[in-house]
């Protein structure tokens, strides 16, 4: 119930009409993460600059300078995707990359940012996007522990984008970015009951994402509605 349960298009409309501000929405998601995520381990890190970004978005809307339908929408990123926000590392869930803050945006993040999206933080994942051993555990990382399926905590959240899928299902952000080499968006979208798809490889730039296979890797949107996923894709591509 409440704003956090709405779809991305519904939230975009509410921001455009003035019924809701980005600051209010961002704070609601932070409250939701604090309440729910201790049971899920889906969110790995929070962006200390998120509220500043929300404030800037609200100021743009007030001044008639909206950057588009994603302006002020809080987005979580899988933590193998680089972002320039200070203190927001790109770890792939590994202790070895705990302090890996590169100070640069991957092109897909730059695209989201250019349309005014608020970068809320990073989601947990299967460490190294599940390419760490023949018997790696789906949804486990050294930094974040085991992601849990919000529908039933003892069931698998599936795939390396498990934290992204669980975050979407548990209403921890309006939109979440996952990545897939082989099933890592499709599987968590399936078992967590959300919309997620693997775009054609190359449609979204691969730069500054921790790599596995240049011929198979791609990021993709994960959210509650097909229209919301399409809105994310417009910016990410």
The residue annotated as part of the active site, out of 78, 122, 198, 224, is 78
| 90: nearest Cα among 148, 137, 47, 139 | 47
Catalytic site residue 171? no
The beta strand positions in 148-190, using DSSP E, are 175-180
The residue annotated as part of the active site, out of 138, 141, 160, 167, is 160
Question: How far apart (Å, rounded) are the C-alpha atoms in residues 126 and 109?
Answer: 21
Catalytic site residue 122? no
Q: How far is CA 162 from CA 2, 68, 79, 108, in A?
A: 24, 29, 11, 20
| 81: nearest Cα among 156, 147, 176, 4 | 176
Any idea which residue has 């003892």 for tokens? 154
Catalytic site residue 84? no
Question: How far apart (Å, rounded) are the C-alpha atoms in residues 104 and 83?
Answer: 5
**Active-site positions?**
78, 160, 184
């Amino acid at each position: 119930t409440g704003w956090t349960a709405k779809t991305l298009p519904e939230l975009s409309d509410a921001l455009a009409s003035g019924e809701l501000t980005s600051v209010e929405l961002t704070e609601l998601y932070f409250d939701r993460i604090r309440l729910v995520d201790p049971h899920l381990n889906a969110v790995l890190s929070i962006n200390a600059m998120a509220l500043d970004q929300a404030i800037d978005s609200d100021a743009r809307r007030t001044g008639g300078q909206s950057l588009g339908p994603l302006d002020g929408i809080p987005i979580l990123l899988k933590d193998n995707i680089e972002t320039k926000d200070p203190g927001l590392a790109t770890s792939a869930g590994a202790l070895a990359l705990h302090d890996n803050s590169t100070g640069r945006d991957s092109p897909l993040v730059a695209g989201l940012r250019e349309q005014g999206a608020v970068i809320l933080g990073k989601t947990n994942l299967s460490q190294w996007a599940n390419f760490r051993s023949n018997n790696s555990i789906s949804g486990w990382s050294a930094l974040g522990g085991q992601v849990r399926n919000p529908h039933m905590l003892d069931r698998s959240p599936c795939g390396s984008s498990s934290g992204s899928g669980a975050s979407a299902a548990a209403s921890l952000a309006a939109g979440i970015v996952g990545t897939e080499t082989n099933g890592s968006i499709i599987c968590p979208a399936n078992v967590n009951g959300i919309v997620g798809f693997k775009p054609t490889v190359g449609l979204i730039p691969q730069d500054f994402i921790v790599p596995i296979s240049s011929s198979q890797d791609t990021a993709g949107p994960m959210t509650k509605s097909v229209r919301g996923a399409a809105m994310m894709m417009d910016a990410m591509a």
